[in-house]
Amino acid sequence: MVGKDGTMESHLERALMGIAHALFLNRLHVLRLTEVVRLGVRPDKEDGTMNLPGNIDRELQQQAIDFVLANFPPEMSTAINQAKKDWLRPA
């Protein structure tokens, strides 16, 4: 799993990062749904999206990252922090 030099096998690291990304997406989705209900956000009349204010959405994204970091070993934090740039990029 982790070699004597402290590095992780690449296929294991990719698998763990995939799990971390899925955990991030799941947590962010739950947080957003909670806020949509709490704030009573209604669908946009033109496209049907239910967007949160930018400052709230950024806070939820950070909370989701913090959740992933709290649930993964500290050795993974550097890789997670590097990956979050891609995770937070708009689709």
In a domain, 4, yes or no: no
Domain count within the chain: 1
Whole-Å CA distances, 15 to 19, 26, 27, 56, 81: 6, 17, 18, 30, 16
Task: Write out the residue range of the structural domain in which residue 70 sits.
Answer: 10-39+49-87
In a domain, 1, yes or no: no
Read off the pLDDT of each residue in 22-29 and give the average, rounded to a whole number: 98
Of 4-13, 24-33, 50-59, 67-76, which range is least confident? 4-13
pTM over 0.75: yes
In a domain, 61, yes or no: yes
In a domain, 82, yes or no: yes
In a domain, 44, yes or no: no
pLDDT digits (tens, 9 = 90+) for 34-76: 999 999 999 999 999 999 999 999 999 999 999 999 999 998 9
